[in-house]
Amino acid sequence: MSRVIRGEGDSLQQRGQLLFRQGNFQDALSAFTEALHCKGADVMSILDNRVATYIKLKQYDRALQDSRQMIKRDEKDLDGRGVLRYGQTLLLTGDFKRAQKAYGWGLKKLPMENPRRKTVLQMFCKVRDKASVKRLDPFAVLPLELAMMVLRHFNFRQLAILLRVSKGWQRMLSQPDLWMQLDFTEARRKVQWRSFRAFVQRSRAMLTHAVMTNISNPFQDKILEALGRCPKLEHLEIRDPVNQPAGLYDLFRASTQLKSLVIGKQTPVAQEHIAKFLTGLPQLERIEIYNAQPSPESRVNWPSHLPNLRSIVLFTEASIPPPGRVAALYIPPATEGMPCSMPSLEEIRLDSYPRVWAPYYLSFDPVQFPRLRRLDLKGVYIGLFSLPSSLEHLSIHAGAAPTGNEFPFPEDQPLHLPNLHTLMFRDLLWVSYHTLHTILVDAKAPLRTLMLDRCPALTPDKLKLVLNENSVNLTELGVPQLPSLNDMTVQPLVEGMSTLTALDVSGTDVTGRLLKMLADARSSDSDLPRIEHLYVRNCENVPLEAITYARSHGLKVFR
DSSP string, 311-359: EEEEEE-PPPPPTTEE-TT------SSS--B-TT--EEEEEE--SS--P
The DSSP code for 296 is E
> What pLDDT sits at residue 75?
65
As a whole number of angstroms, the distance between CA 390 and CA 377 comes to 17
CATH topology of domain 42-132: 1.25.40
Contact 437, 469 (CB under 8 A): yes
313: buried, middle or exposed (CB in 10 Å: 19+, 13-18, 0-12)? middle
> What pLDDT sits at residue 3?
44
> What is the torsional sign of CA 298, 364, 448, 518?
positive
Tell how far CA 99 is from the center of its chain: 41
As a whole number of angstroms, the distance between CA 257 and CA 266 comes to 25
Q: Identify the H or E element spanning 269.
A: strand 269-270
List the alpha helices (DSSP H) in 38-190. Answer: 43-56, 60-77, 81-92, 96-109, 117-132, 138-141, 144-151, 156-162, 167-172
What's the whole-model pTM score?
0.73
Do strands 325-326 and 295-296 pair parallel, antiparallel, or not at all (unpaired)?
antiparallel
Q: How far, in Å, are 12, 16, 378 from residue 361 at the CA level?
A: 71, 67, 11
Contact 84, 51 (CB under 8 A): no
DSSP string, 391-437: -SEEEEES----TT-SS-S--SS----TT--EEEEES-SS--HHHHH
Query: Which of 411, 454, 465 has the alpha carbon at shortest distance from 431?
Result: 454
Exposure on the CB side of residue 262, measured as CA atoms within 13 A: 15
CATH 1.25.40.10 range(s) for the chain read 42-132
Q: What is the pLDDT along the chain (559 residues), one digit of tens a residue?
A: 344 444 677 888 898 999 998 889 999 999 999 988 888 888 888 999 999 999 999 999 999 999 888 888 766 666 788 888 999 999 888 888 898 898 888 888 888 888 888 898 988 888 888 776 666 777 777 788 888 888 888 877 788 888 888 888 888 888 888 888 888 888 888 989 988 998 888 888 889 999 999 999 999 999 999 999 999 999 999 999 998 888 999 999 999 999 999 999 999 999 999 999 999 999 999 999 999 999 999 999 999 889 999 999 999 999 989 999 999 999 998 776 555 689 999 999 999 999 888 889 999 999 989 899 999 999 999 888 889 999 999 999 998 888 777 788 877 778 899 999 999 999 999 999 999 999 998 899 999 999 999 999 999 999 999 988 777 889 999 999 999 999 999 999 999 899 999 999 999 999 999 999 999 999 888 889 999 999 999 999 999 999 999 999 999 999 8
> What pLDDT sits at residue 397?
95
Query: Which of 489, 481, 437, 480 has the alpha carbon at shortest distance from 460?
Result: 489
- Label residue 95 left, alpha or beta by phi (over 0 means left) and psi (-120 to 50 means alpha): beta
Exposure on the CB side of residue 412, measured as CA atoms within 13 A: 5
147: buried, middle or exposed (CB in 10 Å: 19+, 13-18, 0-12)? middle
User: Furthest-apart CA pair in the chain: how many Å?
Assistant: 101
Tell how far CA 138 is from the center of its chain: 32
Name beta bridge partners: 468. none
List the alpha helices (DSSP H) in 133-232. Answer: 138-141, 144-151, 156-162, 167-172, 193-202, 220-227
The DSSP code for 192 is P
> What pLDDT sits at residue 128?
84
Contact 271, 298 (CB under 8 A): no
Query: Which of 371, 314, 300, 365 has the alpha carbon at shortest distance from 342?
Result: 371
Residue type, 67: S
Q: Identify the H or E element spanning 489.
A: helix 487-494
405-412 long-range CB contacts below 8 Å, 24 or more apart?
405/430, 406/430, 406/431, 406/432, 406/434, 406/435, 406/457, 407/434, 407/435, 407/438, 408/382, 408/383, 409/382, 409/383, 409/385, 410/383, 410/385, 410/386
